[in-house]
Amino acid sequence: MQSQRKIRILIAKPGLDSHDRGAKIVARALRDAGMEVIYTGLRQTPEQIVETALQEDVDVIGLSILSGAHRTLFPRIMELLKQKDLTDMMVFAGGIIPEEDIPEMKKLGIKEIFGPGTRTDTIVQFVFDNIPKRP
């Protein structure tokens, strides 16, 4: 039987900023690389993002944030993923995240953080290289 596994990826915008240009460009690059990209739209709570990831059964979650609230929102998202036993999903992030915060974010379990000026093919390659294996 021919299996048709596709990479499913959630692009989410947590918090209150409405700058979604970056998220949409990344979403488009991932789509053009052959992935199925689910986009949440703006102003999502951590609960909404994690519930969406669960229902959509995604392999990867990409968080885009430019508001500066990442130190509040990211820990909450990672905690909820743990609570719902979704730790097999790979999480990466992008947006405006100061250099000095990056180690703290990575310690939470966020695999990579991409700042402004990152090439989309860098992100696409990163996702391909880090897709979690399914049981």
Partner 1 sequence: MTKIEEIVQGVLSGNRRSIARAITIIENNTAETHKLVASIYPHTGKAHIIGITGPGGSGKSTLIEKIIREYRRKDKTVGVIAVDPTSPFTGGAFLGDRIRMQELSTDQGVFIRSMATRNYMGGIAKATKDAVKVLDAAGKDIVIVETVGAGQSEVEIIKVAKTIVVIFAPGLGDEIQAIKAGMMEIADIFVVNKADRENANKAIMDIQAMLQLNNQEKTWKKPVLKTTALTGEGVPQLIERIEEHKHFLERQLEHKRSREKAEAELIEAIKEKVATSMIEKLKKEGKFEEFLKKILKKEMDPTSAAEKLLNEKFRNKV
The site string for partner 1 over 3-42 (x = CB under 8 A, - otherwise) reads xxxx-x------------------xx-xxxxxxxxxxxx-
Query: What's the number of CA atoms in the CB half-sphere (13 Å) around residue 118?
Result: 21
Judged by CB under 8 A, does residue 64 bind partner 1?
no
From 34, 73, 84, select the one nearest 93 (Cα to Cα).
73
Question: Out of 17, 51, 79, 101, which residue is the one contacting partner 1 (CB under 8 A)?
Answer: 51
Judged by CB under 8 A, does residue 54 bind partner 1?
yes
State the pairing for strand pair 90-95/112-114.
parallel
Judged by CB under 8 A, does residue 90 bind partner 1?
no
Rg of the chain over Cα atoms, rounded to whole angstroms, equals 14
For the chain, counts of helices (H) and of strands (E): 5, 5
- Residue 36 or 104 with smaller CB distance to partner 1: 36
Supply 103's token pair. Answer: 């180690």
Binding site for partner 1 (CB under 8 A): 1-6, 8, 27-28, 30-41, 44-45, 47-48, 51-52, 54-57, 84-86, 135
